[in-house]
């Protein structure tokens, strides 16, 4: 199918869904969409757009097609409650309400950094919140920038935040631009690239389980070096830092460590 037709199709999709296909890698996304169109026995983007406008089931199928491989917002909600009640107030008390430096490392499809923005929004105006989010995979970063998630992914989001910051699009949910605007995404390799400095909170959850013990130790050491004194590291429920004292951490609870 002609590239010029695909440019028209992207505009039509945006008009229907507010999903910007320009944020995806074009070659891969176009190939996937062409496959879906062929699967439906249709020729041409114009005919497919007509189908999407006239058939809710096919519209839902298309939107859902763009929301695969997402993880979860507010994973392990009890840990986010500890963040809300203890960690965020302590960070604001120690470092002030402006200029808090927060890094979501290995952020995947954006559920974690967007959860952080919403969590901090209970304590600070959105204009004062900025999250630095990184991942090694450009594709998932591009998906994170879209901000489109299925119902299961956002199940643990508190109801008031869900109502305030998500819009239903077919069977899926689009996170608001005001939340997206508070996150800066960049590509970063935890094993090779330099780490940023002077952060007050680093969140890296359920990722390091895939690394060797040696690699994990090196990464935790680098996280410690990246944190300012009295900063926090938030790790996943499947992880632990056995030698946390040796690398300058104080254990705050099962999954939060403070920089001594």
Domain map of the chain by residue range?
3-65, 77-259
How far apart (Å, rounded) are the C-alpha atoms in residues 141 and 144? 5
Query: Model confidence over 145-183: pLDDT tens digits?
Result: 999 999 999 999 999 999 999 999 988 999 999 999 999
> Would you place residue 32 in the very low, low, confident or very high pLDDT band (cuts 50, 70, 90)?
confident
pLDDT band at 24 (very low <50, low <70, confident <90, very high): low
DSSP structural state of residue 44 = S
Q: Tell me the pLDDT tens digit for each residue of 224-234.
A: 999 999 999 99
> Residue 225 has which token pair?
């070096």
Beta bridge partners of 173: 149, 168
pLDDT of residue 23: 62
Please say whether the beta carbons of 197 and 171 come within 8 A.
no
Calculate the CA 79 to chain-centre distance.
Answer: 17
Alpha carbons 184 and 170: distance in angstroms, whole number: 27
Q: Give me the pLDDT at residue 3, please.
A: 58
119-127 average pLDDT score? 97
Question: How much of the chain is in helix, strand and coil states, percent to nearest 5?
Answer: 45, 20, 35
For 225-260, give one letter per residue: b (16+ CB within 10 A) or e. Answer: ebbeeebbbbbbeebebeebeebbbeebeebbbbbe
27: confidence class by pLDDT, cuts 50, 70, 90: confident
Convert the pLDDT of each residue in 180-239 to its tens digit. Answer: 999 999 999 898 899 999 999 999 998 887 677 888 889 999 999 999 999 999 998 878
- Residue 2 is predicted with a pLDDT of 58
Query: In percent, how much of the chain has pLDDT > 90?
Result: 66
The pLDDT of residue 139: 76
Q: What is the pLDDT of residues 67-111, one digit of tens each?
A: 554 578 999 999 999 999 999 999 999 999 999 999 999 998 999
Q: Which residues contact 78 (CB under 8 A, 6 or more apart)?
A: none
- What number does CATH give the domain 77-259? 3.40.50.150
CB count in 10 Å sphere of residue 221: 17
- Which residues contact residue 11 at a Cβ distance below 8 angstroms, ignoring those fewer than 6 apart? none
Tokens of 236: 């996943």
Which one has a higher pLDDT value, 64 or 56? 56
């Amino acid at each position: 199918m002609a590239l010029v037709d695909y440019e028209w199709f992207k505009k039509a999709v945006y008009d229907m869904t507010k999903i910007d296909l320009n944020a995806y890698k074009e070659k891969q996304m176009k190939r996937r969409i062409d496959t879906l169109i062929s699967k439906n026995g249709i020729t041409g983007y114009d005919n497919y757009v007509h189908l999407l406008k006239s058939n809710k089931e096919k519209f839902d199928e298309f939107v859902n097609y763009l929301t695969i491989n997402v993880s979860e917002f507010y994973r392990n909600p009890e840990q986010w409650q500890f963040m809300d009640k203890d960690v965020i107030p302590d960070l604001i008390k120690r470092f002030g309400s402006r200029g808090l430096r927060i890094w979501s490392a290995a952020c995947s499809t954006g559920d974690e950094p967007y959860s952080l923005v919403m969590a901090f929004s209970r304590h600070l105006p959105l204009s004062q919140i900025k999250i630095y989010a990184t991942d090694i995979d450009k594709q998932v970063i591009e998906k994170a920038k879209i901000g489109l998630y299925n119902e299961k992914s956002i199940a643990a989001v508190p109801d008031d935040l869900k109502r305030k910051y998500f819009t239903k699009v077919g069977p899926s949910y689009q996170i608001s631009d005001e939340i997206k605007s508070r996150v800066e995404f960049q590509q970063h390799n935890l094993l090779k690239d330099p780490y940023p400095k002077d952060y007050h909170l680093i969140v890296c959850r359920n990722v390091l389980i895939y690394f060797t013990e040696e690699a994990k130790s090196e990464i935790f050491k680098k996280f410690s070096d990246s944190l300012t004194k009295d900063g926090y590291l938030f790790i996943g429920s499947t992880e632990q830092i056995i030698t946390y004292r040796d690398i300058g951490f104080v254990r705050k609870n099962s999954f939060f460590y403070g920089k001594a």
